[in-house]
Chain A
Amino acid sequence: MAWFKRESGDLDNSGKKTVRTEGLWVKCEGCRQIIWKKDLEENLNVCPKCQKHFRIDARARLALLLDDNQYETFDGNLSSTDPLKFVDLKAYSSRLRQAEHDTGLKDAVINAQGKLLGRPVIASVMEYAFIGGSMGAVVGEMITRAVERAAETKTPLIIVSASGGARMMEGVISLMQLAKISAALARLDKVKVPYVSVLTDPTTGGVTASFAMLGDLNIAEPGALIGFAGPRVIEQTIRQKLPAGFQRSEFLLEHGMLDAVVHRKEMKPYIARALDFMTAAVSRQPSAVSTS
């Protein structure tokens, strides 16, 4: 072991410049500047120069939202049965295996229960790295169960979307998840349990056209692509280039389709503040929101 340690240390010293540049720098697509990966990570994966919000995975999102990164997950044991035995250029079953291997998840969402600035919450957080965060029977069932759990235990619900929409490899089965989740949300609405929908980059298709747009508040991170149809489909339909900023959070805000665009740093206090508004007052940590 000693020789290895020394050698790696040597290598670190001798090749300082080259080694450090590889994989340690990131080019920001927002401002085209080169930024330190470490700086980016310390800044919650938001570009320190232009505030571009980089995509983060579901676990990083939960760490961001829930106190002390402490939470209990549930329904994580559900997995797809590949009901259509779907094969395109690749078999869906092998795509599932690959996605499971890449993400350590059985499908594109994590259901968790924890606290947000001291307030108990249920959070369903979508994982874009799992087949584009697409929604099939498992995602539909898990989100429905989170909604039901919120209704039964009167615990506020937060759903963080990151999804290309319905999962084509499950055909109409994925479409029916829209109806199922929306019906469950009607019941949640009836019992007056708060539901905050957080839309992140990207949220499109059947996810936007169901639960993502059904929150008591629908809020988004800056610069997120949000829409029903994907930009390419629209371009092909209207045979026109789309205007700059089309379908971005700020565009939706301007058109009255979002309640707020909230910086990643402000997300947790903003939600806490919203939950205070929506729930009976009990002693809790203050939800200081900077009003800059």
Chain B
Amino acid sequence: MREEIAYHEYDVLVIGAGGAGLRAAIESAENGLKTAVLGKSLLGKAHTVMAEGGVAAALGNLDPQDGWETHFYDTMRSGHFINDYRMAEVHAKESPDRVLELEYWGAVFDRTPDGKIMQRPFGAHTFRRLAHVGDRTGKELIRTLEQKILTVKVDIFQEITATKLFKDQDRIAGCIAYYREDGRLAVFTAKAVVIATGGWGKAYKVTSNSWESTGDGAALAFRAGAELADMEMVQFHPTGMTWPPGVRGILVTEGVRGEGGLLFNSEGERFMEKYDPVRKELSSRDVVARSIYKEVRAGRGTPHGGAWLDITHKGAAFVKRKLPGMYEQFMALADVDITKTRFEVAPTIHYTMGGLRVDAYTASTNVPGLFAAGECAAGLHGANRLGGNSLSDILVFGRRAGAGATEYAKNSAMPKIDNAEVQAEVERVLAPLSRSEGENPYRLHEDLQEIMAAHVGIERNGPELEKGLARLQELRERTANMRAPGSRQFNPGWHSVFDVQNMCLLGEAIVRGAIERKESRGAQWRTDFPDELEEQGKVNYVQQVTDKGIVVRPEPVPPMPAELAELFTRGVAPGLANAARKE
């Protein structure tokens, strides 16, 4: 029987309905372009909803010395200088406007005593910088964008999954997607496509990420010829829950430390004093995560292999007001009252710094007409992301991707999608449903997670990485032959087939990046190359799919112009240096 396919045409097609995707779609629609946005979940429920601690923006509401230079400085330093400085600059300059825009659209942030937007301290931010709503900032952000997008002219496709991008010659032409509800298929032809599909934390077992984070968009674009960069950089958040087993990995917001929480090992030692005497608990995430890991390795871990986090000294009223979600989460899921007792935390996979390589100003990839923004894109965060810099990232670059796509779409004709390619993809997508024998996608996902943890976790070395690569290649072959019994109607087994294929591809890219980067920097910790090396700091590892398979090449990190480089020569953050000068 010939498959019934729905055909749609748009100027701008946004794949992804998290913060980055919604912001991009709002931008192109407000510019009068015919826009659609696709998401795997219901509107307003994307991964972004989970963000807790806040959105970083140098508003200077509490610390007037703050400004874009200091935010830029903190971002580059935490990224260990392999960030694209142009992205870091744009981001630091534009975040305040994006936050205020949210306020104008209806977001209600916590307030300072004089009625401004409240800002909280966070790891490795020089000043109090994170605008927030208790510990549910992501929800406020996505709800505001949801409420905004409902008032502009955008077609919103909910619970729909894109499985392949199409090209017309070299340029992007659109995608095909299936509706989760009933397995119907739809082809979207578009002049410009924005990928905003988030990260791929689900490639790991212990993760704070939602099921959506399977890296679809990055994998689809990679297959379509787009370049990936910095794939080895996967962030371990230092504090995930450890117990009971069902909640292992669920995030404990950095806000707990931001609000004064302290870390102790099993011997009652405040060990961060040893690893980073200045910033202690509020050191950058890579440092804190590694410190906890080292304590556990040295036999000073807590019963479930982590560290103690203690905020009881702040008093119950304070904790309940500042961290209501955390209080609730521990009461409901772990029977622990964090206002009365310390609790266990351990590192959890949290964020993917690497991703699609984009232009800092337009968010375009190397494929004409294809743009990317948010967690699926690389460049802003370098080797380690600062807390709060992702929510600002998705707003700043979501908007820029929407604008970039708008410009591109205005100046181009509607592309054509080759029908033979569509038919081939339809067959591939439907095949798992009719196979009488084949691999179980749930099992393969578990295998993938096991491989990632064993060979390319927080601590890495050459031989293990090579083993991991070999195992992943084997696994990739098995993923071509998965089986999903049942019908096309809302069938999670069938849905996971494509998730697993995408994660396997990106898992391989993580390993390949980690093999090439023969040093330790930020999130990449190699015990066979324990030092940060100057030469390696000058390159990003870029990957592309060619006729010969995946090829990895070093690309020079763009050098900063003198006036920006100068900011790093003063020995202190720009805001502090200026303050000192004034005195």
Is B a genuine binding partner of A?
Answer: no
Residues of B within 8 A of A (CB): none
Residues of A within 8 A of B (CB): none
